[in-house]
C-alpha cells in the first residue's frame, strides 16, 4: 500500500511541476525572429515601457524615402535587464539611440534586442534569454 501511495504522489507531483514549465518555455520562443542574422535601426525614442514579462523600447525611424516608421524593440524581463545595468530611466523620449538585434521574419518593424547604443555613444547589453 505504501508503494502505491508513493507512486501516485510522484505522478501527481510530476504532472504539477511539468504543467508549470511548459508555458514558461513556450513564452520565450524566438520563432518570430530571424535568428540567423543581426540588424540595427537608429531612431528617436518615443516610449520606454519598463514592465514584465518584457520591456519594450519604441522608436521612430526615418526611412530612405523620408517617411516615419514606428519600431518596437523587445527586451528580456526586468530582472535580467537590471543585472546588465538597465533602469527605468535608461532611455527617455527624445533620445537618439541605435537598436541591435534580430528582426521579425514577417517584416513587421519589430526587433529582439541584444544591445543598444545610447546617445552618449556607450553600448548597453540587453542580455539574452535562450532555451
Query: Is the separation of the CB atoms in 32 and 104 below 8 Å?
Result: yes
How would residue 59 be classed by pLDDT, with cut points 50, 70 and 90?
very high
For residue 15, what pLDDT band results from cuts at 50, 70 and 90?
low
Per-residue confidence (pLDDT) for residue 23, from 0 to 100: 42
User: Residue 112: its pLDDT value, please?
Assistant: 96
> pLDDT tens digits, residue range 101-112?
999 999 999 999
pLDDT at 25: 42
Grid coordinates belonging to 59 = 522608436
Considering the entire predicted model, what is its pTM? 0.76
Spatial contact of 81 and 127, defined as CB atoms under 8 Å apart: yes
pLDDT at position 6 is: 72
Cell 529582439, residue located: 112
pLDDT in tens, 60-92: 999 999 999 999 999 999 999 999 999 999 999
The C-alpha cell 517584416 sits at 107
Q: Can you tell me the distance from the alpha carbon of 72 to that of 45, in angstroms, rounded to the nearest whole number?
A: 10
- The CATH number of the structural domain formed by 39-125 is 2.40.50.140
Neighbouring residues of 22: CB distance < 8 A, sequence distance ≥ 6: none
Say what the pLDDT of residue 114 is: 96
18-57 residue pLDDT tens: 554 444 444 557 888 999 999 999 999 999 999 988 999 9
Parallel/antiparallel/unpaired status of strands 110-117 and 68-74: parallel
The torsion angles phi and psi of 96, rounded to 5 degrees, stand at -95, 115
Cis peptide before 38 (omega within 30 of 0): no
| pLDDT in the model for residue 131 | 37
Amino acid at each position: 500500500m505504501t508503494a502505491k501511495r508513493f507512486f501516485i504522489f510522484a505522478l501527481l507531483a510530476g504532472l504539477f511541476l511539468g504543467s508549470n514549465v511548459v508555458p514558461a518555455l513556450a513564452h520565450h520562443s524566438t520563432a518570430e525572429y530571424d535568428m540567423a542574422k543581426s540588424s540595427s535601426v537608429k531612431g528617436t525614442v518615443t516610449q520606454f515601457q519598463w514592465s514584465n514579462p518584457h520591456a519594450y523600447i519604441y522608436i521612430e525611424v526615418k526611412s530612405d524615402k523620408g517617411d516615419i516608421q514606428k519600431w518596437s524593440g523587445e527586451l528580456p524581463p526586468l530582472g535580467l535587464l537590471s543585472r546588465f545595468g538597465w533602469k527605468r530611466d535608461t532611455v527617455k523620449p527624445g533620445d537618439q539611440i541605435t537598436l541591435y538585434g534580430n528582426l521579425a521574419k514577417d517584416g513587421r518593424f519589430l526587433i529582439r534586442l541584444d544591445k543598444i547604443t545610447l546617445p552618449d555613444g556607450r553600448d548597453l547589453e540587453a542580455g539574452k534569454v535562450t532555451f
